[in-house]
Amino acid sequence: MAPKRETALDAWGKELAYACEAAGLTGKRFAEALHVAPSTVSQWINGRRTPHLDDVKRCDEALHTNGYLARYFEKWVTREIPSEWADRWRQAEAQANLLQSYDPSVIPGLLQTPDYIRAVLRHNRHSSMDIDERVRRRLERQAVLDDGNPPMCIFVIDEYALRRLVGGAQLMVDQLARMLDLATRDNIVVKIVPMGTDYYVAPSFMIARLDGVDLVNLEDALIGRILEERSAVVEIAKIWEDIREVALPPNDSIQLIEKAMSQWET
User: Packing angle between helix 27-34 and helix 53-63, nearest 10 degrees?
Assistant: 110
Query: Residue 253 in contact with residue 244, Cβ under 8 Å?
Result: no
- 180-227 pLDDT, tens per residue? 999 999 999 999 999 988 877 788 899 999 877 889 988 755 556 788
Q: How many CB atoms lie within 10 A of CB 36?
A: 15
Which CATH number does 97-265 carry?
3.30.870
pLDDT in tens, 80-99: 555 555 667 778 888 899 99
User: Which has the minimum average pLDDT: 11-15, 52-56, 152-156?
Assistant: 52-56
CATH fold of 8-78: 434 Repressor (Amino-terminal Domain) (1.10.260)
Helix, strand, coil percent values for the chain (each to nearest 5): 55, 15, 30
Residue range(s) in the chain whose domain bears CATH number 3.30.870: 97-265
Q: What is the pTM of this model?
A: 0.67
